[in-house]
Amino acid sequence: YLSAKAKVFVAPAMDLDMYRHPSTARNLDTLRADGVTLIEPAEGYLASGLTGKGRMEEPEEIVKVIEAWMDASASLKGKKILVTAGPTHENIDPVRFIGNYSSGKMGYALAGECAARGAEVCLVSGPVSLPVPDGDIRRIEVTSAAEMHAACLREFPGMDAAIMCAAVADYAPAVCSDSKIKRETTGEITLRLVPNPDIAASLGAIKTPEQKLIGFALETDNEHANALSKLRRKNLDFIVLNSLRDPLAGFGKDTNKVTVIAATGEEKSFPAKSKTLVAADIIDFTL
C-alpha cells in the first residue's frame, strides 16, 4: 500500500465492536485524509455470529463504487486546463527579490488532479521546489509576474479552463539593479514599487463564453466581501476563498479549507482537508 501509486479503495470487514472502536475510527480518518476512498461495511450477520455493522460490502457494490470512480476519473478527458501555481519573485538586484510564502502545493495538487481526470494540463509555475505531478502536465517555469502574465496570455486561448492559484506579487521594483546593491556605498535606500499586471483580470477580459476562469482569493479579513469583489472585478466564473485566519489553510500547509463561490451566486464551503482532496472538491464544483 505504501508504495502504491494507483488510487486506493479500502472495504473494511470486522466485528461490530472493532468497527465501532474509536481507534478504528481514527485510523479510517487517517486513510481518508491520505486520499483513500472508504467503502463502508454493510450491516448484517457477522463471522462471529453477532449481527451489526462490519460485514464487508457485497463485491457487486464494491465494483459499482470503483466503476463510478473510473467514470469520474475520465471526466476531464479531452479538456485542456491552464493552472498557475507558486509565488512570483520580483528582483531588486541579482541576489534579492520581493516574494511571498506560497509553496506551490495547492496549485500542484490542482494540476495533478486535473491530469488524473484525463485533462491535458499546462502548469505555469513560479519558483518552487516541487516535482511535476504524474500525468499529462507540461510545466512552464517563470520567475516574475511579468513572465507569468506573458506565459498565461500565450497559453490561455487554446484552453477550456484556467485555474489561477498562483500568489502573484502585486508590485515589482520600478528598477532592478544590474549589480548587487552594496550597503557600504548606498546607505539607506528607498524602493519605488510599480503595480504588476493583473493576470487573472487580463484573462477575464479575453475569455470566451466557452472558457471557464477560476481564481483564488487569499484574505485576512472581510473574507467573503473581498472575494466577491475580486470575482466581479476580474470577470471570473468562480473564486476559491481561503483565509489566513484559518490555522489549517494557506501558505505551505498540507491542508486547506475553502469556500467556492460561483458568479451565479451559488457557493459551497468545504471542511479542512488535504490539498489533494481540496483540489478534487474544487474541480467537482467548477469544471
Contacts of 47 (CB under 8 A, 6+ apart): 15
What span, in angstroms and rounded, lies between the C-alpha atoms of 213 and 239?
A: 9
Cα dihedral 195, 200, 203, 204 sign: negative
State in angstroms the smallest separation of the CB of 269 from ligand PMT: 15
Quick one: which of 105, 117, 212, 273 contacts ligand PMT (CB under 6 A)?
A: 105
Instruction: Residue 33: count other Cβ atoms within 10 Å of its Cβ.
Output: 15
In the residue annotation, 100 being an active-site residue is answered as: yes
State in angstroms the smallest separation of the CB of 242 from ligand PMT: 5
State in angstroms the smallest separation of the CB of 79 from ligand PMT: 20
Catalytic residue among 91, 100, 226, 235: 100
What span, in angstroms and rounded, lies between the C-alpha atoms of 53 and 31?
A: 19
Q: Are strands 238-243 and 259-262 parallel, antiparallel or unpaired?
A: antiparallel
Residue 132-171 contact track with ligand PMT, rule CB under 6 A, x = bound = -------------x------------------xxxxx-x-
Q: How many amino acids of this chain bind ligand PMT (CB under 6 A)?
A: 27
Q: Which is nearer to ligand PMT, 14 or 116 (CB)?
A: 116
User: In this structure, what DSSP letter does residue 167 have?
Assistant: B
Total residues belonging to the chain = 287
What span, in angstroms and rounded, lies between the C-alpha atoms of 177 and 192?
A: 12
Judged by CB under 6 A, does residue 252 bind ligand PMT? yes
Interacting span for ligand PMT (CB under 6 A) from 2-10, 35-43, 96-104, 185-193: 96-104
Q: Which is nearer to ligand PMT, 106 or 137 (CB)?
A: 106
Integer-rounded Cα Rg, in Å, for the chain is 23
What span, in angstroms and rounded, lies between the C-alpha atoms of 169 and 89?
A: 7
Q: Which is nearer to ligand PMT, 14 or 165 (CB)?
A: 165
Q: Which is nearer to ligand PMT, 14 or 169 (CB)?
A: 169
Judged by CB under 6 A, does residue 82 bind ligand PMT? no
State in angstroms the smallest separation of the CB of 217 from ligand PMT: 4
What span, in angstroms and rounded, lies between the C-alpha atoms of 231 and 263?
A: 7
Cell of 227: 472575494
Give, as ranges, the residues between 177 and 236 that touch ligand PMT (CB under 6 A).
196, 198-200, 215-218, 230
State in angstroms the smallest separation of the CB of 3 from ligand PMT: 25
Contacts of 53 (CB under 8 A, 6+ apart): 16, 19, 20, 41, 42, 43
Q: What are the residues binding ligand PMT (CB under 6 A)?
A: 84, 102-107, 145, 164-168, 170, 196, 198-200, 215-218, 230, 242, 250-252
Question: Which residues carry out catalysis?
Answer: 100
